[in-house]
Structure 1
Amino acid sequence: MKLANYLEGRWQEGEGAGIALTDPVTGEELVRVSSDGLDLGAALDFARASGGAGLKAMTYEARAALLGRIAEVLTANRDAYFDISLRNSGSTAADAGFDVDGAIFTLKTYARAGKVLGGGRLLKEGARVALAKTEVFQAQHFLTPLSGVAIFINAFNFPAWGLWEKAAPALLAGVPVLVKPATPTAWLTQRMVQDVVDAGILPPGAINVVCGSARDLLDHVGECDVVSFTGSADTAARIRMHPAVVAKSVRINVEADSVNSAILGPDAVPGSPEFDLAVKEIVRELTIKTGQKCTAIRRILAPAAVAPALAEAVAGKLAGMTVGDPRSEAVRVGPLVSKAQQAAAFEGLAKLREEARVVFGGGEGFVPVDADPALAAFVQPTLLYCDQGLMAKYVHDVEVFGPVATVLPYGDIADAIAMARRGCGSLVASVYSASAAFLAALVPAIADLHGRVMVVDGTVGNQHTGHGNVMPNCLHGGAGRAGGGEELGGLRALAMYHRRYVVQGSPALLDALSADAVDAALLGA
């Protein structure tokens, strides 16, 4: 079966044999995808003209209601999405829930939040500015929804959430979307779009999907489009330098590589709540979605006196994790999504092993449960220990996109800060400490290179939302290597899909133009 693409208000099958999507446990071919022969320029034109016009005819509140209806459709088809996740991504039930339920939760969050914007169709920012000696000539800043398309070029690891965490704020803003999911796991994204289209919720052209190669998609971008990319820094650089993107100053949002940290404070000693909470979270991040998360813990910074005990405790927990075919009842950890990802993970792990010793895992003698290692894409959860600190050549730079993390002992707080910053920009750091002095020094010192800092102590306990769990009402993004982008953050995300402008004129004119405007301050509420 070849998956169809939804463009120009109709389903279209790409030319040729297409690219096969496979089961990462058995190697079985599942479906094929192709974008060959499709007119992507016409698809963008249709989305702008039809989808954009249909969405902008509605108020923010009406579009919020559409998001609620989409969430209902996805909920009704949840079992089918779990089945596709199992077959195409090798997901356990917990992994599939992380992706699919996360997508539904995000849509419901934006459906609720969007109600506060009411019957408005644009945003009014700040007070009026007097420009003359009297009140006869004034200025008012506005934010208007873009007239272009939100183009999503997504990663393979979150085919459900990766679509809807971007699409929810774009659609709420009144901007149509075109998603190009990563080819290896495009099936789930395509199926979700199909279910929404079949339900007739959105105006024609408001949602579009192209599976397979992006081909000449970026050749057709316009000045009012937005390109949001999740993936490697190398691909992000090519997108940023694309001639059409440069010539038309197209707005770009990037989430790229991230060597995230978990940091234990000096008080997080064995037996303390903070130590135990750190161990639990590190193990979860190594195993949920088999470490295939942009937010997963890659480096574990611990006081030198505590680091060996921490490594031993984490290794002990990993030893109890059964790895194999998710169809088997006892299995807790599944495969990577493809043999290509497995090969990339092994390559990165080999580099890390040049300067770090294996505490647990490493792959020697590892046999997954109910799976043929020659066909399957498994990587054994692996914990490393590196005592080279800032002198390490690879551990601060190489992101193994799988179940691999490295413990790094630090000497004092200055050492911890320097190592956290050595990641050169990360999506998240989690800190396990109840020491007010340690936190007061650490958090501000790493904040400009981290999009999110999660602090856990004994009073928080297990009630925290998780190092790797992106909450829709909190910022997702990071500086430097992490791409420099910003997503989510509640209604703040709508700013990406609006353009600020100022009108200078009479009070009567500004009153008329403000009739459908909502206070932009609500975006930060």
Structure 2
Amino acid sequence: MQKSIIVLDMVNYISNILLIRACNMYKRAALLNTKEFPLKLANYICSRWQNGSAPDIALTDPVTNEILATASSNGIDIASGLNYARTVGGTALRTLSYAERAELLGRIAELFATKRGEYFDISQKNSGATEGDASFDVDGAIYTIKTFARAGKTLGNARYLIDGATIPLAKTDVFQGQHYMVPLSGAAIFINAFNFPAWGLWEKAAPALLAGMPVFVKPATPTAWLAQRMVADVVEAGILPPGALSIICGSARDVLDHVQECDVVSFTGSAGVAAHVRAHPVVIANSVRVNIEADSVNSAILGPDGTQDTPVFNLLVKEVVREMTIKTGQKCTAIRRIMVPKAIATRLGEAIAAGLADYTVGNPRNPAVRVGPLVSTTQRDDALAGLARLKSECTVLFGGDSNFMSVDAEGSTAFLQPTLLYCDRGLAAEHVHDIEVFGPVATIVPYTDTAEAIAIIRRGKGSLVASVFSDDIDFTGTVTLGIADLHGRILVVDNAVGSGHTGHGNVVPTCLHGGGGRAGGGEELGGLRGLAFYHRRMVLQGPKTLIDAFKANGVDAVLLNA
């Protein structure tokens, strides 16, 4: 099909995407530097911007409590939007090759790079993000899109993937079998969490679009402004075909009532809501493919060789402090439990506490601040409730003061002081292994031997990531094999690696992201492996001439392992 489909004129595009409540006097770009709030976040479906009806949900600045925007999906015809995405967006995407779709991703990444500063501003206002927090989200999104754009070019002009060798099915080669992976003809429906409005959207959307599936996203409402703005910029630039990208702001409402057999659903959020997604009668009836990323009580483990002032000891201290403070601990991959040999547990606690003392908590607009607020007072209340339960079986080593004074943020109640706890109950503890406080909270749990360390880690019932800090290769190998079936990623740091590792909490787009058990049992990213979720594996049995003809339009799926 002509490449002109890529740059089709979006005649239905409405330029005033972000509306001012009283009137529409100012251009969108000027809104970032004015007090003309709240905005009205429109929904984009069927290639049209549409406002939901009242009541609206408010998006606030967690520092000032100012209402920045409102959102509503009430009255939006989600069924029609999904059908439009499938029939218009999906059809257009699949007329393009992998390489052509990769080119579109590259253009999106270039666009986002030019608007990086504006996205940082939104992130600061709506999420309370520091400069580093905003970079983690926004730059992470751009890097992920670029990664899939580069990888997609290696798939060339193919339109489906050849999976494995030809299988002889007769005494001669006249009748053969060949496995293929073909793009699904439905919509990729994303229900995302509040902590990564940029990366959380594009780490899913990049492989979906590359695979040829249209994206239909419902970002978490409290921080939806950034996701909606990025979608608006892509729409305005005319990069994708009509129907390839849709967004619903506000409640997800009845989206799962309308899923079909060739759709996929990817959910990031609490295990409780995830259970409802999996158990939805339409999801079950249509055998809809579901990917879940849920609760994760991630662990960091110090080996028995990691005595005080050894390189691995200091590396672990640095990593724990970083994981507790970046994004104010609001990361699904953050360190929640720290396993350490009992003999040096006290020393480790002192070292981490000393590191946390250097981090100023307050208004991210203040250049002295290194830790911002949680995204809302509601989130802070939830975190305090979880922290109270943890305190019932732990000792506080640092922080934990619900009345502490944040810097330059008078009147705000969205702040939570970084809190380090100590629990000496091991496997007998309950809350430490079951409760993920989604904020700057971590607990030191001492162990006596390798077997107990493995047992304590496994007590978390499945996590996205665990990290092992040790120069003892026998310890590292035993722990890795002992917990591998419950973890999607295991990071090992020794003296040779030093500070050259990618980070406990960093999700690298070329590596798998997901985890077993409580963490949801899903998989995302992993380079081109991420395309598998958006394809259906099938086997074609037929004459050799037909098999050869099909091969001509495919590409070897071994590239998924590149």
TM-score category of the 2 structures, normalised to the smaller one? over 0.9
| CA deviations over 1:250-281 (Å, ceiling 9, x no partner) | 00000000000000000111110000000000
**CA distance 1:232–1:364, shift in 2 (3 Å):** closer
Secondary structure of 1:494's aligned partner: helix
Q: 1:112 aligns with which of 150, 155, 165?
A: 150
Residue 428 of structure 1 corresponds to which residue in structure 2?
465
In the TM superposition, residue 514 of structure 1 has moved relative to its aligned partner by 1.6
- Whether 1:504 aligns to 2:517 is no
Aligned-partner residue type, residue 239 of structure 2: I
| CA deviations over 1:303-339 (Å, ceiling 9, x no partner) | 0011110000000111111000001110000000001
Aligned-partner residue type, residue 410 of structure 1: Y
Q: Quick one: distance in 1 between partners of 2:365 and 2:93?
A: 42
CA contact (8 A) 1:82 1:96 kept: yes
Residue 99 of structure 1 corresponds to which residue in structure 2?
137
TM-score (norm 1): 0.99
CA contact (8 A) 1:26 1:376 kept: no
- Whether 1:90 aligns to 2:128 is yes
Residue 15 of structure 2 corresponds to which residue in structure 1?
none
In the TM superposition, residue 509 of structure 1 has moved relative to its aligned partner by 0.9
Q: 2:113 aligns with which of 47, 52, 75?
A: 75
Aligned-partner residue type, residue 59 of structure 2: L
Residue 316 of structure 1 corresponds to which residue in structure 2?
354
Secondary structure of 1:32's aligned partner: strand
Residue 238 of structure 1 corresponds to which residue in structure 2?
276
Aligned-partner residue type, residue 397 of structure 1: D
- Whether 1:178 aligns to 2:208 is no
- Whether 1:437 aligns to 2:474 is yes
Q: 1:483 aligns with which of 520, 526, 534?
A: 520
Could you tell which deviates more after superposition, 356-365 or 55-64? 356-365
Residue 265 of structure 2 corresponds to which residue in structure 1?
227
Q: Give runs of aligned pairs for residues 352-371 of structure 1, distance below 5 A.
A: 352-371=390-409
| CA deviations over 1:168-194 (Å, ceiling 9, x no partner) | 000000000011000100000000000
Secondary structure of 1:27's aligned partner: coil
Q: 1:155 aligns with which of 181, 193, 202?
A: 193
- Whether 1:62 aligns to 2:136 is no
Aligned-partner residue type, residue 185 of structure 1: T
CA contact (8 A) 1:359 1:383 kept: yes
Aligned-partner residue type, residue 398 of structure 1: I
Residue 532 of structure 2 corresponds to which residue in structure 1?
495
Residue 401 of structure 1 corresponds to which residue in structure 2?
438
In the TM superposition, residue 375 of structure 1 has moved relative to its aligned partner by 2.9
- Whether 1:24 aligns to 2:62 is yes
In the TM superposition, residue 376 of structure 1 has moved relative to its aligned partner by 3.1
CA contact (8 A) 1:89 1:185 kept: yes
| CA deviations over 1:436-473 (Å, ceiling 9, x no partner) | 11112111111001100000011111111100000000
Aligned-partner residue type, residue 112 of structure 1: R
Q: Quick one: distance in 2 between partners of 1:191 and 1:463?
A: 34
- Whether 1:451 aligns to 2:470 is no
- Whether 1:169 aligns to 2:207 is yes
Secondary structure of 1:297's aligned partner: coil
- Whether 1:519 aligns to 2:556 is yes
Residue 331 of structure 2 corresponds to which residue in structure 1?
293
Secondary structure of 1:124's aligned partner: strand
Q: Quick one: distance in 2 between partners of 1:513 and 1:29?
A: 56
Q: Quick one: distance in 2 between partners of 1:22 and 1:363?
A: 24
> Any gaps of 5 or more consecutive residues in structure 2?
1-38
- Whether 1:410 aligns to 2:447 is yes
Residue 262 of structure 1 corresponds to which residue in structure 2?
300
Could you tell which deviates more after superposition, 490-499 or 132-141? 132-141
- Whether 1:305 aligns to 2:343 is yes
Q: Quick one: distance in 1 between partners of 2:477 and 2:547?
A: 46
Q: State the number of aligned residues.
A: 524
In the TM superposition, residue 128 of structure 1 has moved relative to its aligned partner by 1.1
CA contact (8 A) 2:312 2:495 kept: yes
Aligned-partner residue type, residue 494 of structure 2: D
- Ranges of 4+ aligned residues in structure 1 off by more than 6 Å: none
Residue 20 of structure 2 corresponds to which residue in structure 1?
none
Q: 2:321 aligns with which of 274, 283, 295?
A: 283
Aligned-partner residue type, residue 420 of structure 1: I
Q: Quick one: distance in 1 between partners of 2:54 and 2:499?
A: 51
- Whether 1:201 aligns to 2:242 is no
CA contact (8 A) 2:260 2:286 kept: yes
Aligned-partner residue type, residue 287 of structure 1: T
Q: 1:46 aligns with which of 59, 81, 84?
A: 84
Identity among equivalent positions (%) equals 65
Q: Quick one: distance in 1 between partners of 2:508 and 2:531?
A: 16
CA contact (8 A) 2:60 2:68 kept: yes
| CA deviations over 1:380-417 (Å, ceiling 9, x no partner) | 00000000000001000000000000000000000100
Q: Quick one: distance in 2 between partners of 1:449 and 1:207?
A: 34
CA contact (8 A) 1:259 1:298 kept: yes
CA contact (8 A) 1:103 1:165 kept: yes
CA contact (8 A) 2:402 2:417 kept: no
> Any gaps of 5 or more consecutive residues in structure 1?
none
Secondary structure of 2:537's aligned partner: strand
In the TM superposition, residue 17 of structure 1 has moved relative to its aligned partner by 3.9
Q: Quick one: distance in 2 between partners of 1:266 and 1:114?
A: 44
Q: Quick one: distance in 1 between partners of 2:301 and 2:347?
A: 15
Aligned-partner residue type, residue 496 of structure 1: F
CA contact (8 A) 2:294 2:520 kept: yes
Residue 341 of structure 1 corresponds to which residue in structure 2?
379
Residue 217 of structure 1 corresponds to which residue in structure 2?
255
In the TM superposition, residue 365 of structure 1 has moved relative to its aligned partner by 4.5
CA contact (8 A) 2:390 2:431 kept: yes
Q: Quick one: distance in 1 between partners of 2:547 and 2:313?
A: 58
